[in-house]
Structure formats: C-alpha cells, structure tokens
Structure 1
Amino acid sequence: MAALAVFAPALGDAAAVPFLAVAGLAFFGIRDGDWFETLALPGDEEAERLYGLVAFALAGGGLALFASIAPVPLPYEAFAAATLAVGGGRLGRELVSPQTADEFPLVAAYVAGGTVAALAGQLLVRLQAPPVAEGVNAAGASGLVVGGGVSVATVGAALPGLIFLAAVAALTAAFVRSLVFARDAHITVILVAFAVWGFIVLAPTVSAPLIAFGLGVTAVLGYVSFALGTASVPGMLTGVLAALLAVVLGGIGWFVTLMSFYAIGGLASKYRFDEKADRGVAQENEGARGTGNVLANSAVALAAVVGYAASAHVNVPPSLFGFAFAGATATAMADTLSSEIGGLYDRPRLVTTLKPVAPGTDGAVTWQGEVAGLAGALVVGGLAAVGMPLGDAVSGGAIVVLAGVAGMTVDSLLGALIEGDRVGNQAVNFLATLSGAIVAVAVGAAVGVVL
C-alpha cells in the first residue's frame, strides 16, 4: 500500500482514490480469515477491525490530497519518501525478526529497509517528471533522457540529495516509531512527510563523499553508543539523526564538534558508574541516555545547524548560527562533565549560597566538577575554532569556551532555584544550552565576530 504513493504524479487529483479504496476494503470487507490474520496489528484482533491498516491508508489518502490539490502542495517526493520509509521499514523489521529479538538489529533493519524504499520511491516519482526536449535535461545540459523526460545526468547529480532525504525519512520514521506505539504508523507517516518537505525546501548541497561519510560514520557511532550502553535505542536514533544533519547541513567541523559531546559525554556517564549509583548521583537507565536527554542537550544545536542551512533564505549571517551551535554544544559538554565528574567527590556546595549540601542536590557544585566542565568547554571551543565558521579562530574559540562555562553556571543556578517536581532536569538542560547559545552569539556580535 505504501508503494501506491509512487503513482501519485500520474493519478494527479485522483491520487487519494487508491488509498481510500484500500481503507474501505480493509474496514468493511476483511473481518476474519487468513487476510485478516496477516494484516492485523496488535489490538486489531480484539476489535475485529483492521484499524491499524485503515488508519495508515487514510493518512496516505490525506497526504495524497495535500500533494495533488492543496494550494501549497506537498512535493510528491516527500509523499513517496514518507510512505515508503514507513512501509519499507516495517518490511525490513519483519524480515529480520524471525532471526533475532534484539532491538538494535531490528531497528537497523527498519532504517535500512526504509532508506532503500524511500530512495526508490523518490526515483520513481522523478521518472514521471514532465517531458523536456529530447537529449536535453532540465538544466539545459546534454544527457540521455529516461522515463518521462528526466536525464540520467540529472538523476545522477541529484542522487546524493535523494539518498540524504531517504535516510532522513527512515531515521525520522524509526525515531517517531520508538516514541509512539508501533501500530501508530499513520502518525509516523504524516510527521515524516512534513520533515522531508522541510529539507526539500532547504535544498542543502549534498555531495556523494559527504553523504557516504555521514551515513557510514553515524551508523558506526550509533552501534557503538548502543553496544557500550551510553544510549538507549530511541536515544541512539536521536543522536544518529542529529549527527547526520550536522555533517550534511553544516559540514565535517560541525559533525566533529557535536560528536565530541556525544562521545565524551556518553563515556563520562559510564565512568565509575557503580560508584556514582551508590552515591545517588548516577544517570538513570544504567547511564544510557534516552531521547529526552539527548534532545534536551542537542535541540538548540540542531535548530542552529538547520538555521545555518537556511541562512541564505532568511538573510541572516551564517556565523550567527555557528556561534549558537558551538555555544550550545560547549554548554552541554561542560555541564555533563561537571555533573558526571563532580558527582564523584565529597563536600559539594550549593551554587547560590556556597553552603555544603548532600551529593546529588540540585544546584550543587564541586571544584573538581567545575574544572572538568571547563576542560569540556575547552575541547569544544578548540574543535569549533578549527572546523566551524567562527571568524578568527582564537577569538571565536575563546567565545565558545566562555559561553560553555556561562551555560554550565546557568544550569547550576537553575538547578538550585527552580528544578524540582514541576521543572525537570531535561528542561533545565535545554534552558542552559539555550543560554550558552545566546551568550556565544551576544559576545560574538559585541566584539564584531558575528558578521
């Protein structure tokens, strides 16, 4: 059923009809028997209705209408990538599930199947493009014309970008699936379609070596983080998606800067974990960071790298987003090391009063933790100065270090003042990284580095 999306360009205004027909058949015509048992998702047996399949079909029909008749239509590539990322992902997972019950290979199969299917869907949609002059592609260059008028040269040039969109679709689908019930494919496909649409609008420049590097390295790092227990499956998916966006939308320097936090921060969480657990200061979930923790520390940086990719569209200096990204990442690194290392030492003091408090108290600091946090900010500042667009390397790196220390201090202050039942640690982490980004941009603008 997901594959029906590739026929949407040919069907035009009638693109929703096949999806609605499947929804009607599944709801009214299949109530029992082998077909019902094959297509039923968990919970469908009790209801004696194929609600999961019907919901997915209706979501596909709605997206088809949006792609064909909306005033601002959803691109057919986004429609095909989204539906096939979900459909191909589910197929990949089902093919592997008889051999293993381990979650990582199942998720890997979902992402691999979704990526291949989403890429195929985009290519098939492109082959239905309106005809162009024989022997000439849409850009006016000579090339062998295939399908509906798209040249081999045009498809080849666009392939790295299509692979990126396919990978984003599959990773987003796997990520959303890990957060909602597995049967809620209708929610997943809608969110993925709009995510892919956003990246189509951004139109990032994607080269073959860059996408090969991004996919290869992020896949390895995702496996390592899961194998070492530094991230849960949803957390691992969040980190892999964030890393892929950093390397493709920003570049190698952005990727290395972000990876320094993921790698060092993850290892710091596992460092002397049993001792920290006995002291009551260990990271929950055996030190494996989940989606909420990863997003709390990375959301500002991700918004910055997307803003950097969109800077040409919004007429904002690209260096502004570079400083925001580096400042937020330096804060996340400094705060993580301060907490993970400082928690191993006795006699912490509350940052607001400097009075001794029990280990694990919100807002408590130790001098050892502060030194570790400063070291983390120096690492990020050094990497950002070398690999990111921060103007002068020395002054840019120094600003990032300052922002990281400032954000770490804000985190401690917020922990002492507002963290509790109503405001959790993840909200405090997000506000701290936001403050680090603001400090980096403000200081950079004040000294004339942000241009």
Structure 2
Amino acid sequence: MTAPVRRAGVFALLSTLALVVPLGGPWVGAAIGAVVVLGAMAVTDGPIFELLAYPSDYEAGRLYGLVALALAAVALGLIAIATSMSLAVFVGTVLLVGYGNLAEQFARRWTDRDVVLAAAFCAVAAVAAVTGQVGTHWLTDSGVLESAATALPRMVFLGASGALLAALLRDVLFSHDDPVVMLSVGLLCWLLAELEPTLAGPEIAAALAITIGLGYASYALETASIAGMLTGILLGLLTIVLGGYGWFVVLISFFALGGLSSKFRYERKAELGVAEDNNGARGSGNVLGNAAVAIVAVLGYAASSETLLPGVPDSSLFLFAFAGSVATAMSDTLSSEIGSVFDRPRLITTLEPVEPGTDGGVTWQGEVAGVAGAVVVAGISYALFSAVTTVGAAIIVAAGVVGMTVDSLLGATLEGRVLGNQGVNFLATLSGALVCALLVLSFAVLG
C-alpha cells in the first residue's frame, strides 16, 4: 500500500470521528478536534509524521495539512451549532471528503485517467455522505427508517451535489486543499437542505442518470474538460431538482450548441489564433462565467417557492431572468465562435477594422448568429413554459441581444485591463437576466 493511500486511509478514519457529534454532543466533537490539532502540532518527525505528512509538510516540519483539515471540521461543526445547519449535513460533509479522497487514492494505484479518478471520488464520496446522514438520523433517534421514502432521496441529492462540488474544487485547486473543499461543500449542502427539495427516489435517479450521461458525453466529445464536465453535471442536477426539466432543457441547449460551436471551423480559428484552448474543450471557468447567473436564478426560484424570499412579487421573474441569462450566453457564444472565422471584424465602439480575436471586435455574420441563438432559447422557453407568451419570447430575444452587446462593449473597453474573459461573461449574462426580468415586470405593470 502506497504512502498516499495509507495517509488517505488514516484521514478517512479520522473523519469517521464526526459521528461522535450526534452521539456525544457538539462540544465532545470540538474537544476531539482540539486533541487532533494539538497532537498534529506535537508530531514533527518519526513514523507518524511520515504517515500523515503531505509533501508540503516536510519543509515546515509540521503536520499543517492535518491541522487545517481538523480546524475546518471544527469550524463547520461550530457553524452547525450556531445556525440552522443540521448535524446530518455536517457529518455527511466530513465523511464525504475523507472517504472520497481515500477512493481516489485507491483508484490512482491502477490508473492515472482523470475521468476515472473523478468518478471514483464522486461515487464513494456520495455514498459516504448519504451514510453519514443516515447514521446521524439513526444516532439521534430521528426515525429515519419511518421516513426513508421521503428523506433518503433528499440525502442522495445532497450527497451527490456535495461530491460533485468537492471533485470540481479538487480539480481546479489542489487535491490536498481539503479544508477549503470541506467548508465549501458544507455551506452548499446547508443551502440546498434549507430549500427543502421534494423528490422521490426514481426522480433523483433519473436526474443523476441524465446529467451524468450528458456530462460524460460532453467530455468524450471533447467539448468540455474534466472541470467543465463536473461543473455541467452539478449545474444540471441543481437545475432539474430545483427548477424542473423545462429549465434543464433551456440550459442544456446552451451547453450543447455552445460546445458544438467551438468546433465550428476549428482549424481556421487555430490559424487566426482565436480558437479555444484544449481543442475547444470548455473548462469550469468558462461554464461558470456563462451559467453562474442562471443557476442563481434557479436557486432564487426555489427559495421563492419555499417562501424563503418573502416580498418577491412573482416567482416567474426568476424564470425570465434565467432565460435572459441563457439567451445572452447563447448569443455571445455563437456570435464569437461563428463570427471569429470571418475576416475584417470591426470594433463595436468605433466600427474601425481590427484584427480577428480583438476583444470587442464584431462581424455581421457573428451578430446574425447571436440573434439566432437568442431566438433558439426564446423558442424553447415559449414551447415549455406557459408563463412565456409571445411577448415574453420577444423579451427573451431582446435580452439576449442586449447581453451580447454588453459583452462586446465590455470586451472593447474593460477586458484585459480591469476584467478577465469570465468576468465579462458574468456581467453580460447578469445584464441579460436583469433586462429580461425588468422588461417583463414593466409589461406586467403597464398591462
């Protein structure tokens, strides 16, 4: 057994101590965490140090990796004590990180394929999270057996969502940044638990099957990197569970057409120096830059449905904000991916000819493609949602075009100096979402 596997095994066993919290009380858990921290600081060499040390610990001569992980668990436990976070979420999160890491290290002994390692982490981490939640309910006599039909699907949803986020963060950060991962996963699962999603076993199974299948297809077709695949699966899962399949179809239309458009005349784009890196595969930054506003709209819709956001005049405003942001992302992506292969782009602020790939440069072919992208999103929304009338569909198109224009304007003025590409994408989709929601609200007031 290799050193990383042994270390991961010990860390997994230590994570199991989180079950002491529902069994003996939160302060007992805090005391155990303090003992682990003090013990880790006291060990500076010898076999125990060799067993538990991360590579970065050798230079400092301290088990700072273990200390940071224990402090993160204690901090998460204190949050659970002081807030409405359930102990089940806390325990599930700690076990998720500990056993997910162990599974990845075991898998690494036989393969170095990133997709297999990510799959091993996610599968075992999700099972560990569900086991931790079930164990917590059992230890606290919450009657989990009697409510399994309703509680278990929600636990699976929380476990799967947490595992996907953890795998994503470990991919874009470092595999030993588990303290950051633990806190992030705990906060996400807390938020999702507060939304109280209602779903049955077959529903969560279908949602997982669909999102994982489509996510892997995007990776296999080289339209998404590992991080992009994980981000897409997580966003898709949240969209289906918290919004519905109609919302998911709108979102997946962007991922599908946007990913395929990056392959459009890729060799020509490479010659011009405007092609996406990694053979056009989109990473997590690109996915989040284009879809972060959309997922916030989904969360807002779910929160308004659960009366967690009192004062919202109409929850359908979140639907239009969602559609406006996706229309913007679709318009901008098609405009840049298709328009970039044509010569003589012009800077949107001065209409002067610029070199292909210049931030803020547009072509008439790209603008037409962008409008077509907004029309696609509007048409799907009109077909799937009764709240989207003909006027609503026209508003979605207008919002997409406005957002696409904002993206070009920001590219010509601020990108490269104040904002990066993902920041520009985020602000553009935010503008599309706000324009769409405000226009719908204005028409409702006037009409």
TM-score, length of structure 1 as denominator length: 0.90
- The answer to whether the Cα contact below 8 Å between 2:44 and 2:61 also exists between their aligned partners in 1 is no
1:212-257 Cα offsets, whole Å, 9 max, x none, are 1221111112212222222222222222111111111100011111
**Partners in 1 of 2:84 and 2:30 — Cα distance?**
14
Residue 199 of structure 1 deviates from its aligned partner by: 1.2
Equivalent residue in structure 1 for 2:315, among 313, 318, 324: 318
The alpha-carbon deviation at position 53 of structure 1 amounts to 1.8
Query: Counterparts of 1:397 and 1:308 in 2: how far apart (Å)?
Result: 19
Unaligned runs of 5+ in 1: 130-147
Say yes or no: does 1:2 pair with 2:15. yes
What's the CA shift for 1:203? 1.1
- Does residue 382 of structure 2 align to residue 385 of structure 1? yes
Provide the residue aligned with 2:6 in structure 1. Answer: none
Contact 1:63 1:74 (8 Å CA) reproduced: no
**Paired residues for 1:308-387 under 5 Å:** 308-311=301-304, 312-315=307-310, 316=312, 317-387=314-384
The SS at the match of 1:188 is helix
Q: Per-residue deviation at 1:334?
A: 0.7
Shift of 1:87: 0.8
Distance 1:427 1:62, change over 3 A: closer
Alpha-carbon distance between aligned partners in 2 of 1:368 and 1:354, rounded to the nearest angstrom: 15
Q: 1:252 to 1:351 in 2, by over 3 A?
A: same
Distance 1:149 1:243, change over 3 A: closer
The aligned counterpart of 1:414 is: 410
2:405 corresponds to 1:400: no
- Cα distance in 2, alignment partners of residues 47 and 392 from structure 1: 60
Amino acid at match of 1:407: G
Distance 1:112 1:417, change over 3 A: same
2:298 is equivalent to residue 305 of structure 1: yes
2:96 aligned to 85, 91, 99, which one? 85
Taking a change above 3 Å as real, the CA distance of residues 111 and 151 of structure 1, as seen in their structure-2 partners, is closer
1:419–1:425 CA contact under 8 A, matched in 2: yes
SS of 2:199 mapped into structure 1: coil
Structure 2: which amino acid aligns with 1:66?
I
Mapped to 2, the partners of 1:246 and 1:413 lie a distance apart of 30
Q: Do 2:93 and 2:185's aligned partners in 1 also have CA atoms closer than 8 Å?
A: yes
Output the CA distance in 1 between the equivalents of 2:269 and 2:391. 37
Count of aligned residue pairs for this structure pair = 429
Q: Does 1:116 align with 2:111?
A: no
Aligned equivalent of 2:166, options 150, 156, 173? 173
The Cα offsets for residues 254-284 of structure 1, whole Å up to 9 and x where unpaired, read as: 1111111111101111222121011122123
Distance 2:96 2:60 in 1: 27
2:200 corresponds to which of 195, 199, 207: 207
Deviation at 1:30, TM superposition (A): 6.8
Shift of 1:36: 3.5
- The answer to which of 23-32 and 409-418 deviates more is 23-32
Could you list the runs of 5+ residues in structure 2 that have no partner in the other structure?
A: 1-13
- Could you say if the C-alpha distance between residues 377 and 392 of structure 1 is closer, same or farther in structure 2, counting changes exceeding 3 Å? closer
CA distance in 1, matches of 2:446, 2:184: 34
Contact 1:78 1:194 in 2 (8 A): no
CA contact (8 A) 2:68 2:179 kept: yes
Amino acid at match of 1:86: V
Alpha-carbon contact 1:386-1:393 (below 8 Å) kept:
no
Q: Post-superposition shift, 1:149?
A: 5.0
Aligned partner of 2:58 in structure 1 is 45
Out of 417, 422, 431, which is 2:427 matched to? 431
Deviating beyond 4 angstroms after TM superposition, the runs of 4 or more aligned structure 1 residues are none
Amino acid at match of 1:369: G
Shift of 1:425: 1.8
Secondary structure of the residue aligned to 1:401 is: helix
Corresponding residue for 1:239? 232
**How far is 1:29 from its partner?**
4.3
Distance 1:200 1:449, change over 3 A: farther
- Is the aligned partner of 1:157 residue 2:150? yes
Distance in 2 between residues matched to 1:248 and 1:397, nearest whole Å:
24
User: Deviation at 1:172?
Assistant: 1.5
The offset of 1:49, in angstroms, is 2.9
Distance 1:66 1:410, change over 3 A: closer
SS in 2 for 1:257: helix
8 Å Cα contact 2:144/2:151 also seen in 1 = no
Note if 1:16 corresponds to 2:13: no
- Deviation of 1:446 after TM superposition, in Å, equals 1.9
- SS of alignment partner, residue 150 of structure 1: coil
The 3-state SS of whatever aligns with 2:276 is coil
